[in-house]
């Protein structure tokens, strides 16, 4: 009993140390994984903590679970638009790029470490993949914004190249341990791993979306748990049927993350926190597993192998692939330099330990050293390299920060919190000038510690928190109204029902239409527009076309036009 209590206390202390060390990461320009590893090393048998941990099986089990959750979160956060834009170069880098890196690094490692070529290739496969979390945490901390194509390529490649590295590692272990013949057997294994992984990921993703959009759970906190269980189900089914569980859970995450479902924002926040907890726990445990004094025994070999990866293998894997897709030399240089090694190589380096492979301890120590060198060297210079290559752009306009608070039971509505940024369209604008759809109600505004009454005369300020009751159909419209100026990636296209007193200029401003509706005319209202276009024919359900849209008088009260429905261009084309 006391042992369990001590383990809980120890785990809490190490996790807290890992979290607090992340504050140092931004200042030093180092990936957080380096600091998490250092926390584990300091707590280990050679550090001040003197904690003895030598259980590769436990470390592998924990690392596999953590990596699966990290990849799932990566899939949830990956826009399908980005995948469609760069899937060809990203997939080439994630497969052939990893293979080329493994071959070059493996050949060099066999010579530097004086080991067999197959064992050297095993080391090359282990360090073949890059770490997406490390790369983009550094970019965010340094405030670096790249062009969408380059950023998407890096994201998709880093998030999807782990299955290839895992396949190569497992395949080479089968050859070394079980005497599997390379060639047809390895090709069959590749097709089975990738094919089954992809099919299971797609099947589970679609099945979960059918369930989550129809089921009504009493507790909102169960929705994130349901999504987590779905991801783990995809991983487990694929892994137990000969497929790649990591590919399955990533694809499942992509499908779920790109579809609207109940409490989606809350689910994303939950998995973001879960991914951070997984990273901290995994790296601290891996830091405990390594013996720091053993790193000094292979320091020069580790430096040489890291040099080969950074300056030879990675560029030779990147340049031919990206050249085919029209990337510039500056862009290819940055992609080459951003090939940071992270969690996957260290987890894969545990495999030889579990199989009792000769030189397994040497491989693990060298891989650990290579990851530290790669993450430290490339991580600390990433911002400088991007600036020198002149690839940093102005940050794009962003949607408002949102938080789903609660769903209103069987009613098709929910309460959502929006936080206004400095560049929001709504900043410094009166609430009455926000052309919100009919039925959307601003229930409360908080500013600092104050509660501001939501009156029409209220002037909205950056940092305000608006608590809004809205229908699910209007989410994109409301998000657009409170987004930063210039944000158009989620431009709403559905029917928009507005009050007749709403001014055309306010609609143009809130939804980024420029002056499509106002067209330089006087600041008229929707009711005035209806009277002008319909004259004596003004009545409920009367329609007219204007500025490429169809307008319908939805509701009248006596002679007044109370509600007007605005439909997009598509409605005109299909009518």
Q: Long-range CB contacts (< 8 A, 24+ apart) of 14-21?
A: 14/39, 14/40, 14/43, 14/284, 15/277, 15/280, 15/281, 15/284, 17/43, 17/284, 18/280, 18/283, 18/284, 19/280
The pair of structure tokens assigned to 349 is 């380096």
Verify that 126 and 202 share a domain, yes or no: yes
pLDDT, average across residues 521-543: 86
Q: How many Å apart are CA 529 and CA 526, to the nearest integer?
A: 5
Residues 421 and 356 in one domain: no
Domain boundaries, position 545: 495-575
Looking at residues 298-305, what average pLDDT do you find?
A: 87
Question: 362 and 226, same structural domain?
Answer: yes
Residues 434 and 543 in one domain: no
Show Cβ contacts of residue 162 under 8 Å, excluding neighbours closer than 6 positions.
Answer: 67, 71, 129, 246, 344
Residues 440 and 475: their CA atoms lie apart, in Å, by 10
Mean pLDDT for the stretch of residues 510-528: 78
Query: Which H or E run includes 496?
Result: strand 496-499
Same domain for 375 and 446, yes or no, is no
Same domain (yes/no): 117, 160: yes
User: Is it the case that residue 518 has pLDDT exceeding 80?
Assistant: no
Boundary (domain end) residue, out of 388, 408, 442? 388
Please choose, from the candidates 494, 103, 92, 504, the residue with its C-alpha nearest in 3D space to the C-alpha of residue 313. Answer: 103
Rounded CA-CA distance 96/105 in Å is 14
With a cut of 80, say whether residue 242 has pLDDT above it: yes
The residue whose two tokens read 């601290």 is: 284
Mean pLDDT confidence for 483-511 = 77
Beta carbons within 10 angstroms of residue 238's beta carbon: 27
Using 50, 70 and 90 to split pLDDT, how confident is the model at 575?
very low
What does the pLDDT look like over 394-407, one tens digit per residue? 766 666 666 555 55
For residue 277, the domain's CATH number is: 1.20.1530.20
Could you give the CA distance from residue 358 to residue 368 in angstroms, rounded to a whole number? 17
Same domain, 409 and 274: no
Residues 276-293: pLDDT tens digits? 888 778 777 777 777 777
Among 492, 522, 541, which residue terminates a domain? 492
Q: Are residues 381 and 446 in the same domain?
A: no
Q: At 234, is the pLDDT very low, low, confident or very high (cuts 50, 70, 90)?
A: very high
Residue 568's contacts (CB-CB under 8 Å, 6 or more residues apart) are 493, 494, 495, 549
Q: pLDDT band for 493, please (50, 70, 90 cuts).
A: low
The CATH number of the domain where 457 resides is what?
3.30.70.1450
Please count the other Cβ atoms lying within 10 Å of the Cβ belonging to residue 444: 16
Domain check: are 99 and 170 in the same one? yes
Based on the domain organization, do 215 and 305 belong to the same domain? Answer: yes
Say how many domains are in the chain.
3
pTM exceeding 0.75: no
The Cα–Cα gap between 299 and 145 comes to 35
Residues 206 and 297 in one domain: yes
Strand partners for 498: 564
Which range among 95-104, 319-328, 355-364 shows the weakest confidence by mean pLDDT? Answer: 355-364
**Mean pLDDT estimate for the chain:** 81
User: Is the model's pLDDT at 132 over the cut of 80?
Assistant: no
- Rounded to 5°, the CA angle 176-66-245 comes to 55
The residue from 359, 388, 417 where one domain ends is 388
- 456 secondary structure, DSSP code: T
Question: Is-contact 516 529, C-beta < 8 A?
Answer: no
Q: Looking at the structure, do residues 499 and 483 belong to the same domain, yes or no?
A: no
């Amino acid at each position: 009993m006391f042992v369990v209590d001590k383990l809980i206390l120890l785990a809490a202390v190490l996790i807290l140390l890992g979290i607090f060390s992340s504050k140092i990461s931004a200042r030093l320009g180092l990936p957080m994984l380096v600091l998490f590893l250092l926390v584990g090393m300091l707590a280990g048998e050679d550090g001040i903590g003197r904690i003895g941990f030598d259980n590769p099986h436990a470390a592998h089990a924990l690392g596999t679970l953590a990596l699966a959750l990290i990849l799932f979160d990566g899939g949830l956060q990956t826009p399908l638009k980005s995948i469609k834009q760069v899937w060809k170069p990203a997939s080439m880098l994630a497969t052939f790029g990893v293979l080329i890196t493994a071959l070059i690094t493996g050949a060099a490692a066999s010579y530097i470490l004086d080991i067999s070529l197959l064992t050297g290739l095993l080391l090359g496969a282990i360090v073949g993949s890059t770490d997406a979390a490390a790369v983009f945490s550094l970019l965010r901390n340094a405030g670096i914004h790249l062009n969408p194509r380059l950023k998407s390529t890096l994201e998709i490649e880093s998030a999807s190249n782990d299955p290839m590295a895992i396949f190569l590692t497992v395949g080479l272990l089968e050859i070394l341990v079980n005497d599997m013949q390379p060639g047809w057997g390895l090709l069959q294994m590749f097709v089975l791993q990738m094919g089954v992984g992809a099919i299971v990921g797609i099947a589970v993703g679609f099945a979960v979306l059918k369930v989550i959009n129809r089921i009504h759970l009493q507790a909102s906190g169960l929705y994130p748990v349901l999504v987590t269980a779905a991801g783990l189900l995809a991983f487990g089914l694929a892994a137990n049927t000969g497929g790649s569980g990591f590919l399955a859970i990533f694809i499942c995450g992509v499908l779920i993350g790109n579809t609207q479902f109940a409490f989606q924002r809350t689910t994303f926040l939950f998995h973001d926190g879960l991914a951070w907890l997984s990273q901290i726990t995994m790296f601290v445990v891996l830091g405990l597993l390594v013996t720091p004094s053993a790193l000094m025994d292979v320091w020069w070999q580790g430096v040489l192998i890291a040099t080969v990866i950074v300056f030879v293998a990675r560029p030779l894997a990147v340049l031919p692939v990206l050249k085919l897709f029209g990337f510039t030399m500056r862009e290819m240089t940055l992609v080459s330099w951003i090939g940071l090694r992270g969690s996957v190589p260290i987890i894969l380096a545990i495999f030889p330990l579990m199989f009792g492979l000769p030189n397994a301890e040497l491989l693990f120590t060298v891989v650990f050293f290579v990851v530290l060198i790669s993450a430290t060297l490339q991580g600390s210079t990433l911002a400088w390299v991007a600036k020198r290559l002149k690839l940093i752009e102005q940050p794009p306009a962003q949607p408002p920060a949102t938080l789903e608070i609660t769903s209103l039971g069987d009613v098709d509505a929910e309460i959502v919190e929006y936080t206004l940024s400095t560049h929001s369209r709504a900043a410094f604008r009166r609430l009455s000038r926000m052309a919100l759809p009919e039925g959307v109600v601003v229930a409360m505004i908080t500013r600092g510690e104050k509660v501001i009454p939501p009156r029409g005369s209220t002037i909205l300020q950056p940092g305000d928190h608006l608590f809004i009751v809205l229908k699910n159909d209007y989410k994109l419209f409301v998000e657009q109204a409170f987004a930063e100026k210039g944000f158009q990636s989620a431009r709403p296209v559905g029917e928009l029902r507005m009050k007749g007193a709403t001014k055309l200029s306010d609609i143009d401003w809130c939804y980024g239409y420029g002056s499509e509706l106002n067209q330089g005319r006087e600041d008229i209202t929707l009711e005035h527009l209806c009277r002008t276009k319909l004259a004596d024919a003004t009545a409920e359900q009367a329609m007219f076309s204007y500025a490429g849209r169809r307008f319908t008088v939805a509701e009248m009260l006596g002679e007044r036009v109370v509600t007007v429905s605005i439909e997009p261009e598509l409605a005109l084309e299909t009518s």
